[in-house]
Amino acid sequence: MKRISYIASLILLCTMCSSGSEWQDVIDKDNNKHETNDDGNNPGTPATYEVKIGIITDAHYSTKANSAGRYYSASKDKITEAVQVFNNAGVDMTISLGDLVDNEYTNYTDIQVVLAKLAMPMYKILGNHDFITPFSEEQQAAALKVLGITNRYFSIVKNGVRLIFLDSSDLATYSHPLESKGYREAEAIYKELKDDLAPNARVYNGAIGSVQMEWLKSELQKAQSLSEHVVCFTHIPLALPATGNKYTLWNDEDVIDLLTEYPCVKAVIGGHHHEGGYSLTGGIHHITLKGMVQGEQNSYSILSIKKTSVEVDGFGRETDYEYKLK
């Protein structure tokens, strides 16, 4: 619930634009590589603005013992059920909003066998539990390869809808090597929030850096100029009801301010907060989906984006949502 200070923003810009072996520099900075156009329409064909997406989040699959209401090993069977439902429903694509595994990327091999049965592509973004702790550049690069993640943020255009996938762990203490520039920048932001008693001053949260913010701005400008609808996907939510606001992005207000400048932005879909929630902020629908790992009952959803509405068909614990778009 905080805007990063002006000084911190300048430090962030210098940090993210510096060269070297920083983890951020391992991720390619060519903005063209961050966009994949998946739109099969012929040029000149009117956009339908309709996309159907199967979504899972916070599976936290692991072979370790259950704890704090989290049924780690059960997530494999839960994902199996979701895959079957997505295939039967004929969704256009599927998305993992992060935390597929629980800090042990070697467990992903078990999940990959299940996900391989999907009849459509799956796009993945990273959650805080998808990072190796303590952080190791070599191990994290291996983890990304196993997870099948080439770019940590990117966009897809489908039927007139621009789907923007954000990297909410861009700046976080868990996503950079200890004592690196990126780590120190994340630590400074965290300390500033903590000193201000911000509810989201938690080490399991993170921020979107200046390079990604500039990329996001360019994506929104393109979408607005092309009369596209925009839906953003993020692991760490931007807005939650007051009961869950400790789980939001460190620079949530900065990102929300940017999104609200563009009427083409219709919704933001997030995970991270296992109890889920909804917030209408800046005229944008912020829907946080429930964590699959939490409880014995399953939780996943099918998101239907339409020209005049956004709908979530929830399965198991997940809530149904339906909102009209302006």
CATH at residue 237? 3.60.21.10
The answer to whether the CB of 53 falls within 8 A of the CB of 93 is yes
User: What is the strand order of the sheet 154-158 is part of?
Assistant: 35-37, 154-158, 161-165, 229-234, 265-270, 284-288, 277-281
Mean pLDDT of 297-316: 97
> CA-to-CA distance for 146 and 143, rounded, in angstroms?
5
| Tokens describing residue 242 | 């007051």
Pick the range with the lowest mean pLDDT from 9-23, 31-45, 201-215: 9-23
- Dihedral pair phi/psi, residue 229, rounded to 5°: -90, 145
> CA-to-CA distance for 230 and 227, rounded, in angstroms?
10
Parallel, antiparallel, or unpaired for β 93-96 and 122-124? parallel
> CA-to-CA distance for 138 and 52, rounded, in angstroms?
36
Domain assignment present for 58: yes
Domain count, the chain: 1
The answer to whether the CB of 131 falls within 8 A of the CB of 140 is yes
Q: Is 280 helix (H, G, I), strand (E, B) or coil?
A: strand
* pLDDT tens sequence across 97-125: 999 999 888 888 899 999 999 999 999 99
Domain assignment present for 233: yes
Mean pLDDT of 83-110: 93
Domain assignment present for 160: yes
Domain assignment present for 107: yes
Residue 242 DSSP symbol: G
The answer to whether the CB of 57 falls within 8 A of the CB of 315 is no
> CA-to-CA distance for 277 and 323, rounded, in angstroms?
14
Domain assignment present for 1: no
pTM above 0.85, yes or no: yes
